[in-house]
């Protein structure tokens, strides 16, 4: 009987504990249900470049069924947060799905990619040693293909053999996914420590990033070479320099930026200068925040050469990578100049832009040659166009070109300057343009290496610069060419 009383008291006590002091019920929280397993579903990619992965997460009543996707090799394929694989080349990757509730439960699946048409290159390399070996053995008509990744190079590479016209030697870097980076950062700063010196002829180099050489990133001394979709950055002298009689080279869709020496006084983006030969071209190239000039055409030991620039953009040169001013000249395009103030560097600029440069957008220096500017644009430079009456050009032609703000100074022995934004009663203002933010000019290039689409200096439909130019042989719409770098 005593035992029964005790049990009754215990039951009464338990019931009394299920309510709080004001007789409201106490709610006991449900236990957390964690993910216990993940199953990945998806197929190998045998056609196209994408594939969808899904994940079955158990138990079905898990509180948080969110997973994070990852790829073992993003140079082969990446995977988005929704499980969409984007492939860049043939190969095998391990796809991992990880539950985020505890970051403990994972699943993996091997995906093979075989949808890319394989090209039989003469040499395919993935390491610095393999690259150097291929360069030592390559001959005319052959191609060296570099898989994406970082190649540490400790000494200068000299390319002295030559291809032939129609039978070039090609160095081709992977441009889809991870690009090819030749890393020369172990080099000391020294005038003999170029990254690559090209003395041979008929080379085609495409899709290579040259980084932190002890002098020029690439120095060209040969002829008839094509350098395409490459970058040159943080070198201790000019990113790409054409010198030593080099002629008829084309630099296409290349970028050169953040080049500076330790004295904070030298290093251009691009330079066809000193003893360069004639017939060199820059097309679709960009130079920004190089310590000295975007482009430098200063001559020594050569005379009366001609260089062509088409669709080239020069932005904020004279500034360092951190945005501070250096001690360099800070010109966008330095057309020429020489020690004796007598040498001629003839230069033609078509649809080129100079903006935000510390000193001059388009600079005369002491060039005594013939300079032509067609459909160019300058804005926010120390001086937009600067052609001095001291040691003047033989002839200066400027047509269909624009300046936002003061145009600068226009002088030469012979002048043919007509149909520009500061002439014929035209008033040019910000309202003429869809945009004046020149940071747009530094956006990523398109997949084929061409320049990005921008709003900068594109004309509004009511701009009085439309159809106010003169035919200079460049394509145009309407009754006459527009003034400025972009045709409406």
CA Rg, the chain, in Å? 31
Contact in structure between 144 and 135 (CB atoms under 8 Å)? yes
Give the pairing of strands 345-350 and 414-418.
unpaired
Rounded to the nearest 5 degrees, what angle is found at the Cα of 335, between the Cα atoms of 333 and 339?
Answer: 125
Contact in structure between 101 and 90 (CB atoms under 8 Å)? no
**DSSP string for residues in 78-107:** EE-TT-EEEE-SSEEEEEEEEETTTS--EE
Q: Three-state DSSP class for 353?
A: strand
Residue with tokens 């980084």: 211
Q: What is the DSSP letter of 166?
A: T
Beta-bridge partners for 305:
345
| C-alpha distances out from residue 451 to 231, 286, 313, Å | 13, 9, 10
Whether residue 325 is preceded by a cis peptide bond, meaning omega within 30 degrees of 0, is no
Contact in structure between 208 and 234 (CB atoms under 8 Å)? no
Q: Would you say the C-alpha torsion 396, 398, 404, 410 has a positive or negative sign? A: positive
Indicate the burial class of 49 (C-beta count within 10 angstroms; 0-12, 13-18, 19 or more).
Answer: middle
Whether residue 59 is preceded by a cis peptide bond, meaning omega within 30 degrees of 0, is yes
Q: Would you say the C-alpha torsion 67, 73, 75, 76 has a positive or negative sign? A: negative
Residue with tokens 């016209």: 165
Catalytic residue among 334, 344, 383, 468: 334
Tokens of 242: 């054409």
What is the rounded CA–CA span in Å between residue 120 and residue 286?
Answer: 33
What torsion do the CA atoms of 266, 236, 318, 336 make, to the nearest 10 degrees?
50
Beta-bridge partners for 50:
86
What is the rounded CA–CA span in Å between residue 202 and residue 219?
Answer: 15
Among this protein's residues, is 334 annotated catalytic? yes
User: For residue 104, how many other CB atoms are within 10 A of its CB?
Assistant: 11
Tokens of 328: 């360099």
Residues designated catalytic: 334
């Amino acid at each position: 009987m005593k035992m029964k009383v005790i049990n009754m008291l215990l039951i009464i006590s338990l019931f009394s504990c299920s309510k709080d002091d004001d007789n409201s019920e106490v709610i006991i929280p449900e236990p957390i249900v964690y993910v216990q397993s993940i199953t990945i579903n998806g197929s190998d990619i045998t056609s196209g470049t994408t594939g969808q992965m899904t994940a079955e997460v158990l138990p079905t009543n898990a509180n948080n069924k969110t997973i994070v996707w990852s790829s073992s090799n993003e140079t082969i394929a990446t995977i988005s947060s929704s499980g969409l694989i984007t492939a860049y080349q043939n190969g095998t990757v391990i796809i991992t799905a990880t539950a985020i509730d505890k970051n403990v439960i994972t699943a993996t699946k091997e995906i093979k990619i075989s949808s890319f048409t394989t090209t039989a290159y003469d040499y395919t390399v993935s390491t610095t040693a393999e690259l150097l070996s291929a360069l030592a053995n390559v001959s005319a008509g052959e191609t060296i293909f570099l898989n994406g990744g970082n190649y540490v190079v400790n000494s200068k590479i000299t390319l002295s053999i030559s291809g032939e016209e129609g039978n070039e030697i090609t160095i081709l870097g992977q441009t889809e996914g991870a690009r090819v980076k030749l890393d020369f950062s172990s080099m000391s700063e020294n005038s003999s420590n170029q990254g690559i010196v090209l003395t041979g002829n008929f080379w085609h180099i495409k899709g290579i990033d040259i980084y932190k050489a002890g002098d020029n990133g690439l120095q060209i001394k040969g002829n008839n070479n094509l350098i395409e979709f490459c970058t040159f950055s943080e070198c201790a002298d000019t990113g790409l320099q054409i010198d030593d009689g080099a002629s008829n080279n084309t630099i296409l869709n290349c970028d050169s930026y953040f080049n500076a020496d330790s004295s904070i006084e030298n290093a251009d983006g691009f330079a066809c200068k000193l003893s360069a030969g004639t017939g060199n071209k820059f097309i679709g190239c960009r130079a920004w925040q190089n310590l000295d000039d975007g482009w430098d055409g200063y001559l020594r030991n050569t005379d009366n050469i001609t260089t062509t620039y088409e669709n080239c953009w020069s932005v904020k040169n004279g500034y360092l990578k951190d945005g501070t001013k250096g001690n360099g000249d800070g010109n966008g395009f330095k057309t020429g100049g020489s020690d004796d103030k007598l040498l001629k560097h003839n230069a033609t600029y078509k649809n080129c832009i100079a903006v935000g440069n510390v000193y001059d957008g388009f600079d005369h220096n002491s060039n005594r040659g013939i300079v032509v500017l067609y459909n160019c644009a300058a804005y926010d430079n120390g001086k937009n166009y600067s052609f001095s009456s001291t040691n003047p050009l033989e002839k200066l032609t400027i047509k269909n070109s624009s300046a936002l703000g003061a145009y600068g100074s226009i002088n030469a022995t012979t002048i043919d300057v007509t149909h520009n934004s500061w002439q014929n009663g035209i008033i040019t203002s910000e309202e003429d343009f869809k945009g004046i933010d020149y940071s747009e000019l530094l956006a990523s290039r398109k997949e084929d290496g061409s320049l990005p689409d921008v709003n900068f200096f594109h004309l509004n439909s009511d701009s009085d610069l439309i159809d106010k130019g003169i035919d200079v042989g460049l394509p145009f719409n309407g009754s006459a060419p527009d003034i400025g770098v972009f045709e409406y």
